[in-house]
Amino acid sequence: MDIENRVVVITGGGSGIGEALARACTAAGAAHVVVADLHGDEAARVATDIAGTAAQIDVRDETAIRDLVDRTEATHGPIGVFASNAGFVTIGGVEDSNERIQDMWEVHVLAHIYAARAVLPQMIANGGGYLLNTASAAGLLTQIGSMSYSVTKGAAVSLAEWLSVTHHHQGIRVSVLCPQAVHTNILANSPDSGGAITGDDDIEDGVAGGDGVLSADAVARSCLEAMRDERFWILPHEEVAEYARRKADDIDRWLGGMRRLQAALYGEGPLPGDAMAPRI
């Protein structure tokens, strides 16, 4: 799909990958870009720069997403691309609270479902459209130190697969973005750092940064290239494809390798978050 003359909606668009996507889509000739973010001032800053529209939205609120879609269609015409990109990161294992796990589930999985529910009917009626869902390399592999991030990003990848299989014949194209580390402010804007939910990028230190830390602009360019070619996996870090192949070829060997990587990162001591773990 060519972005030119398409109406684009981006959640988590006020910073990081979402902001870079908004700027890249504008430069590629999008008809209009709607920048949605939990932080309305950041959405407004980006929208002002690109002559787009800003919207303050909590992606956990399905009604808010539906209203965003309806307002966009009424004002700017049919949505050609919906980039569901909002997210955050936490550190912890099975000791993590149900509330924190549920929060991550709603942002990383339910928000993608809400977006698809809201936008698919008009996309199908208009002959097609594009869903760009941000997941993570953790969704294809795992994230050492964060159970909830690993589980919800895996679910996000699975959901994108289902959407691609189910709606392809109706003109719907789907890509899932699975980067490793990206230079963004996700750590500062995540709950474990005292912040809030914002754009979804990847952890910059530890295991995620082992293959280098990319700029958000580079990731946005990868997204537009993949959408042009209608490729499902968007892997800005090319190494991830090989890791996924090794995992599929021999899961036990892959698990052993991940255990060794964990030990190399943290030794035999506690992992991040273990300080609050029950002794079982």
CA 262 to each of CA 78, 144, 259: distance values in angstroms, whole numbers, following the listed order? 47, 7, 5
**What residues does each domain of the chain span?**
7-276
**Rounded Cα–Cα distance for residues 228 and 113 (Å):** 23
Taking the chain, what is the end-to-end CA distance rounded to the nearest angstrom? 52
* CATH fold for domain 7-276: Rossmann fold (3.40.50)
Angle at 112 between CA 109 and CA 113, to 5 degrees: 90
SS3 letters for 45-114?
Answer: HHHHHHCCEEEECCCCCHHHHHHHHHHHHHHHCCEEEEEECEECCCCECCCCCHHHHHHHHHHHHHHHHH
Partner residues linked to 146 by β-bridges:
92
**Rounded Cα–Cα distance for residues 114 and 247 (Å):** 31
Residue 33: exposed, middle, or buried by beta-carbon count in 10 A (0-12, 13-18, 19+)?
buried
pLDDT in tens, 116-140: 999 999 999 999 999 999 999 999 9
| Digitized pLDDT (tens) for each residue of the chain, 280 residues in all | 999 999 999 999 999 999 999 999 999 999 999 999 999 999 999 999 999 999 999 999 999 999 999 999 999 999 999 999 999 989 999 999 999 999 999 999 999 999 999 999 999 999 999 999 999 999 999 999 999 999 999 999 999 999 999 999 999 999 999 999 998 765 555 555 444 344 444 444 455 556 789 999 999 999 999 999 999 999 999 999 999 999 999 999 999 999 999 999 888 655 655 543 332 2
Neighbours of 183 (CB within 10 A): 16
